[in-house]
Amino acid sequence: MTEPAPAHSAPLPHTALHAYVCNVCGSDHVTRKAWAAWDVAAQAWVLEVAFDYAHCHRCMGDARLDRVTLTSPPPAAITGPAHVAPG
Ligand SMILES: [Zn+2]
C-alpha cells in the first residue's frame, strides 16, 4: 500500500478516527484513484488498491491530502451513513 505505517506514540483511549482533507481548501470531499475488483462471494466491487493520485471535488483538480485526527464523531456517525449502493 502507499500509506506509511503510523508511528505509535501516546496510546489513545479509543481508536482514533481520521479523515483526509484537501491541503488547499480543507474539504473532505476528496477521492483517490483506485482499482476495484469484483468479489464473487460478496457480489460487490471491492477496493483492491488505492493509488497516490488524489482529486479534490471542491478545487476540482489534483489534490494533496492531509490526514487529520477527528476530535469528535463526524456527523455521519450520528445520523447514520447515507451511502447509496452502487449500481
Ligand atoms: Zn480542495
Around ion ligand 1, residues with a beta carbon closer than 5 Å are 22, 24-25, 27, 56, 58-59
pLDDT classification of 28: cutoffs 50, 70, 90: very high
DSSP state of 78: H
CA of 18 to the centre of ligand 1 (A): 17
pLDDT classification of 4: cutoffs 50, 70, 90: low
**How far lies 44's CA from each of 33, 36, 48, 80, 82, in Å?**
18, 9, 12, 21, 18
Q: Given a cut of 80, is residue 80 above it in pLDDT?
A: no
CA of 38 to the centre of ligand 1 (A): 31
Range 41-64 average pLDDT: 97
CA of 23 to the centre of ligand 1 (A): 7
| pTM for this prediction | 0.61
